[in-house]
Amino acid sequence: MSERGLNTVSFAGHAASSAQFKALYAEGMGLVEETASYLDGPGRTASKVLPRMASVLYAAESMRLTTRLMQMASWLLLQRAVNNGEMSREQVLSEKSKVRLDSFNVDRSAPGWNDLPETFRDLIERSLRLQNRVALLDREIYRPQEATAFVPDNQNGVKAQIKLLQTAFGAN
């Protein structure tokens, strides 16, 4: 590890077991429930009257949305288990290797995107923001060498840590 890396304070380990993590966990699980309710109710009704292109896109995006949320929920549950002492870090690392926190992007320029219900598009956007926060926290906790690689050498280390925390917890 570089000299700068040795002087960097990792707040992620503390943040992962803090009130901020509990809030992130609650937000993630709440979004899972909200999405399930929408897709089983108003979303199902709305999808039946969509134009053909939007209907196909709705089906594909609802699968991606569901997969994205299930991956994040898995990560959050694993992190909660390690925080509560229910699993060791080694056990979590083994299980965590099955969780994908990236590569579920959205093509907002796809034909039919603007015809999708606004609530559905909002759920997608919120899930993407949450996915980014969870992925950043994952890198900070489990691969700190990758997370610090994103900090230019000429950037203030404290400022970089604050920016990472803001990104992880959605602060502005």
Q: Yes or no: is domain 11-144 CATH 1.10.8.930?
A: yes
**Domain coordinates in residue numbering, the chain:** 11-144
Is the separation of the CB atoms in 168 and 136 below 8 Å? yes
What distance in Å separates the CA atoms of residue 57 and residue 122, rounded to the nearest whole number? 15
- Token digits for 71? 């991956």
What distance in Å separates the CA atoms of residue 58 and residue 21, rounded to the nearest whole number? 31
pLDDT in tens, 7-16: 444 444 555 5
- Within 10 A of 6 (CB to CB), how many other CB atoms are there? 7
pLDDT in tens, 117-165: 999 999 999 999 999 999 888 888 887 665 454 445 445 556 666 666 6
Q: State the average pLDDT for the chain.
A: 81
The pTM score is: 0.73
Q: What is the pLDDT of residue 165?
A: 62
